[in-house]
Amino acid sequence: MENKTHIETLAVQAGYEPKNGEPRVLPICQSTTFRYTSCEELAKLFDLDESGYFYTRLGNPTIDALERKFAALEGVWTGSDNAELTAIGLLNPDKELNNAEDPFIFKIGAPGLLSWATRGSADAFIPGIEDIIAGHDIIDGQEVNTVSYAERIARGKLALAALAEYGETHSPEALQTLRENYPFFGYGYYDDPAQLVPPVGMIYYSYHIMVAGGMYMLLILAVGLFLAYKKPGVLDKKWWAAAAMLALVVSWIVSQSGWICAEVGRQPWVIQDLMPTRGAISAVSPAGVKTTFWAFAVVFTAMLAAEISIMINKIRQVAKK
């Protein structure tokens, strides 16, 4: 009796066999080199006649995802050489994909630092969100055409259609089409590349709040160590106690900002390139979701109240002494 795999299993597990330009290990990509069937095909990549991956230092699927994340974190819509790392900036809310608006109302940054942090050279080209969507990049001074999001969407739809056909007919042709287009499976759920751009504003501000808060806590640590060794009497001052107590609040803000940055920054993916959030919706009733939410809200609110009460009591005990 033939053992048929359910379509739900195929949606996650089926179809991955490395071919031209595909890594041996699907993301996170740990391959340093990539497989091709002939030297001629590899030569086309070096001559930039075709797009693809051939050496991980120059690019791989994980690096592509990282560059998309950096572009959103720094509000980089259009790529440039000597890209600056923004220290303080206010995003322009009217900026959208492929319009002519300036991404920032104002900003203060360090020129070249983003290029250096991402690609190891202050003069390196950093693709922006619009470049990544269009499939454009420059590596070592050479134009490189990656797979555009329009092509990814088209190939993703082919993969979805092939999976449905294979689930019904077990056609070898459908399985082959699925395998060829499987790396772009998740893109088939979308119709417009703009739908694949995460909320840039939320990612940008949460990231910079996280970094600013982290720097504040490091400053408190450094100053506290210095005072403990050189001027311990200052540690009894009220202003220092207030600054140190503020670090507790800042640590919570940093933690929450980091979660926002990570979870919103990976949108719209549950599994990178394979399963988007719209394809991972569970059949849970609204009542079930509400019950779970309010149960967690009540429990954690009670825990927060207990923690605050304990902290206040301890502070009062120390103050009396």
pLDDT one-digit tens code per residue, 112-147 = 888 888 788 888 888 888 888 888 888 777 777 778
Q: Of 288 and 141, which is predicted with more confidence? A: 288
Per-residue model confidence (pLDDT) at position 1: 43
Per-residue model confidence (pLDDT) at position 243: 92
Cis peptide before 61 (omega within 30 of 0): no
Note the pLDDT tens digit of each residue in 190-230: 999 988 888 888 888 998 999 999 999 999 999 999 999 98
% of the chain surpassing 70 pLDDT: 77
227 alpha carbon, distance to own chain's centre = 39
Task: Tell me the pLDDT band of 26, cut-offs 50, 70 and 90.
Answer: very low
Give the angle subtended at the CA of 318 by the CAs of 314 and 321, to the nearest 5°: 145
Per-residue model confidence (pLDDT) at position 49: 58
pTM of the model: 0.66
CA 76 – CA 124 distance, rounded (Å): 14
Contacts for 83 with CB less than 8 Å, ≥ 6 apart: 74, 76, 112, 114, 115, 118, 124, 125, 126
Mean pLDDT of 167-182: 90
Per-residue model confidence (pLDDT) at position 13: 45
Per-residue model confidence (pLDDT) at position 136: 81
Residue type, 236: D
Task: Tell me the pLDDT band of 301, cut-offs 50, 70 and 90.
Answer: very high
Per-residue model confidence (pLDDT) at position 164: 92
Residue 160's CB is within 10 A of a number of other CB atoms, namely 20
CA 42 – CA 51 distance, rounded (Å): 10
Residue 24 backbone dihedrals phi, psi, to 5 degrees: -70, -30
Q: Are 71 and 127 in contact (CB under 8 A)?
A: yes
Contacts for 141 with CB less than 8 Å, ≥ 6 apart: none
Is 50 exceeded by the pLDDT of residue 188? yes
Is 60 exceeded by the pLDDT of residue 16? no
Of the candidates 52, 51, 97, 94, the one whose C-alpha atom is nearest the C-alpha of residue 72 is 97
Residue type, 80: S
